[in-house]
Amino acid sequence: MERYSSVFIAIFVLILRLAQAQNQTGFISVDCGLSPPESPYNAPQTGLTYASDAGLINSGKTGGIAKEFEPFVDKPALTLRYFPDGVRNCYNLNVTRDTNYLIKATFVYGNYDGLNVDPNFDLYFGPNLWTTVSSNDTMEEIIHVTKFNSLQICLVKTGISIPFINVLELRPLKKNVYATQSGSLKNLFRLYISNSSRRIRFPDDVYDRKWYPLFQNSWTQVTTNLNVNISTRYELPEGVMTTAATPLNANETLNITWTIEPPTTPFYSYIHFAELQSLRANDTREFNVTLDGDNTFGPYSPKPLKTETVQDLTPEQCSGGACLLQLVKTLQSTLPPLLNAIEAFTVIDFPQMETNEDEVAGIKNVQNTYVLNRISWQGDPCVPKQFLWDGLNCNNSDISTPPIISSLDLSSSGLTGVITQGIQNLTNLQYLDLSDNKLTGEIPKFLADIQSLLDINLSGNNLTGSVPLSLLQKKGLKLNVEGNPHLLCTDLCVSKGDVHKKKSITVPIIASIASIAVLIGALAIFFVLKKKTGSKVEGPPTSYVQASDGRSPRSAKPAIVTKNRRFTYSEVMIITNNFQRILGKGGFGIVYHGFVNGTEQVAVKILSHSSSQGYKQFKAEVELLLRVHHKNLVGLVGYCDEGENLALIYEYMANGDLKDHMSGTRNQFISNWGTRLKIVVESAQGLEYLHNGCKPPMVHRDVKTTNILLNEKFDAKLADFGLSRSFPIEGETHVSTVVVGTPGYLDPEYYRKNWLTEKSDVYSFGIVLLEIITNQHVIDHSREKPHIAEWVGEMLTKGDIRNIMDPSLNGDYDSTSVWKAVELAMCCLNSSSARRPTMSQVVFELNECLTCENSRGGAIRDIDSTSSLDVSLTFTTQVSPIAR
């Protein structure tokens, strides 16, 4: 009876294990290109249930691999979806937030199109590049913790090759497996040690990991028919752990080698052990684990018929990307080392944050409501910028926060029905254009609740009812409802007689009679003063408020509007300790070192009475810096405007200006290409903020290396805004203005036409970029081509980057990064401003340069660094960690 009981228990355990193995809870198995009537089906090789991708993507065409390849391919990969139209095509998958997923994408070309063209296209994970597909038969795998309840896998066309995909698979893992310090894991290899040819996956592996056999002639196969305890958090297949190998020569090491590209890529390894042999009383199996000759773990003895995993706690790197893992027998050991299985993963970072989740939900609601099947409306709406959805503008200047949607233009898009409530999720929207559609119903009140909205165009629709009072009373809002014949307007909207004539309804700011009287009085004073002085009054009218201390502003020089951050001249003297320490001199005057509140270091610019900069530029800089704030713009601590004493008090930038460091006058030379790129990226971000983040946008007008300052950490910040001007908006293409700037950096088109646009800054920044690359003077009459742009252009015709690069860099740079930077600089210097990139595009391209450089040499080194960082490797087991 006892024997039957034991057999029953064994059968029950086997059934339970099989039931667990068949569990596909949370699995997503997509057969791309499968016809919906054939979906779902159970794959014969695994029993996994696969479904069609219909409903997961709105584009692409279906196909199948050529007949001659079918015998060599598993059923899910026989069909595929390919994408001849559009640049980016994306799958949208519903997942569980904060879940650790194993994600696999399979690509089998199989000459499906009869062209025999090798594939070459990019695979994106949301807004970030995952990998480039360039093989006829490959599977890409990552382990990633989801942040949202949706996941997007995108295929991007990069050349003549048409992107395609055969299978998409997602498998939820336990949270405590394959953990990293940061980033996700990209599969490098997953091997079990066996001389068989069998690949192991589901149902043997409950997570559907694919295990490939590995065996070498210098090894001896070790197997067991006994059960191996696999009850660890990694839940390895028993078929993986019941095989192992030892060296043929008991005194030899057991070696595993692999290579990593790029060589500096960090990786994690997971080594799995179980003793499979019955050891005699005097037998000992003990060994150390070394990587590239360094002891990383041990001495260690595998547990009899029990699985243990030795894993990296921190990422490791191998010299030159060539890795040698060795199991080395100890002196006390009588048996050779033993290995059952090993996995390795490189670290892959996805730095670009996805667009704000609520705003994505809002814009997809708009898309679904109006059935907008635009091929560009796939993937993340805002990022990367080159795939921005048509009709959208976004703000993603701060990479530490999710991008937000700032503008939505769906004019002439054939919209019908009412204005969808999904728009109210776009809480950062500044501009909304729904004009020239067939929208009906009333104007919703929720539009007034979007605090950021500045401009709404609802003209040319069939809206009814009346304009909500809350919209009409919203200050600063421009509202256009022309061409809605059945829309009623109150007195605040427009008079009834003008309802069909008024082209635009701007929400009025109701002024009191007293305000009108003040305005008339101010105009009268203005003309009297003009008549007395016989000259033109410079600057805004004198209706500006008085100075904050109650004194009247100087004649014909209006006081700065704000009261904040104003210092008296006596306070400036205390701050600078009676102007004791000079930091620098220029046409504006002298800059002194000082302290505010005795602790905060500041730089105090004292405007010379003979300065050409003048009060107008002083005032312009103060008012700009009081209303703009960005990590890459020098912050204004305060100012002094007292009689003839004018001072600007800035945050202290310990490392001075970029020009000094490029010339070496500070005895600290920037000889690192990565550091130079970091500086220009940050400078570009500051400039991009002025163009796109300010309302109204600003043009700096004096971008140059002396106006790029560096703090103690060599973070770059743009400075000197005295010449800045508001940038044209609302359809204007330029501002006509007197030409100002620095020779050599000045935009030739601006100089010829007196037309100022944001592209004038782009030209100047292009010159800065060439200075960073070449470390040459902007104008040098000893050269055959005195101007740096002409000189670089001539060098480029020779095609040798070494003629252009600063020789002090000693060739220590990624050539791809350098070429991209040079090409970008020359694009910025195009004679036609219309053909220059925007600063947003410049920021994107420079970040690409920086990524190329960092992938070559790891993180950017410190400014004085002469050696790379040491990264230690620590291992631990499932049972108890042993110190290294």
Dihedral in degrees, nearest 10, Cα atoms 373, 374, 376, 381: -70
DSSP 442: B
455 catalytic per annotation = no
Set 204, 433, 702, 806: catalytic member: 702
Distance, CA of 709 to CA of 690 (rounded, Å): 16
Q: Cα separation of 192 and 486, whole Å? A: 74
Residue 725 near residue 791, CB atoms below 8 Å: no
CA separation for the pair 357, 496 (Å, rounded): 43
- φ, ψ (nearest 5 deg) of residue 169: -140, 135
Q: Structure tokens of 472?
A: 């009409």
Among candidate residues 739, 735, 701, 738, the one with its CA nearest the CA of residue 720: 701
User: Hey, what amino acid is at 688?
Assistant: E
The single-letter code of the amino acid at 66 is A
How far apart are alpha carbons 852 and 843 in whole angstroms?
A: 14
d(CA 495, CA 553): 42
In this structure, the number of other CB atoms found within 10 A of the CB of residue 139 comes to 16
Please list, in sequence order, all residues whose beta carbon lies within 8 angstroms of the beta carbon of residue 336, skipping any fewer than 6 positions away.
Answer: 246, 247, 249, 250, 251, 252, 254, 285, 287, 329
**Tokens describing residue 298:** 């041990």
Alpha helices in 370-451 (DSSP H): none
Give the neighbor-by-neighbor strand order of the sheet with 404-409: 392-395, 404-409, 431-433, 455-457, 478-480, 505-506
Using CA atoms, how far residue 266 sits from 269, 346, 883, in Å, is 10, 6, 22
Q: What's the DSSP call for residue 388?
A: P
CB 736 within 8 A of CB 755: yes
Strands 431-433 and 455-457, bridge-based pairing = parallel
Alpha-carbon span 857 to 674, nearest angstrom: 9
The answer to whether 746 and 699 have CB atoms below 8 angstroms apart is no
Residues 6 or more apart whose Cβ sits within 8 Å of residue 359: 381, 404, 405, 425, 426, 427, 428
Beta carbons of 336 and 329 less than 8 angstroms apart: yes
**Any binding-site annotation on 605?**
yes
Residue whose entry in the numeric block shows the structure tokens 């005295």: 722
d(CA 399, CA 403): 8
Alpha-carbon distance of 658 to 666, in angstroms, equals 10
- Could you please report the per-residue DSSP string of 320-380? GGEEEEEEEE-TT-SB---B-EEEEEEEE---SPPP-HHHHHHHHHHHHHTT---TT--S-
- Cβ-contact 714, 671 below 8 angstroms: no
* Residue 26 identity (one-letter amino acid): G
Q: Crossing angle, helix 815-828 and helix 788-796, to 10 degrees?
A: 130
Give CA angle at 120 (117, 126), nearest 5°.
145
- Between CA 674 and CA 813 the distance in angstroms is 8
Instruction: Write out 614-632 in H/E/C secondary structure.
Output: HHHHHHHHHHHHHHCCCCC
How many CB atoms within 10 Å of residue 239? 17
From the annotation, which residues make up the binding site for ATP? 605
From the annotation, which residues make up the binding site? 605
Residues with catalytic function: 702
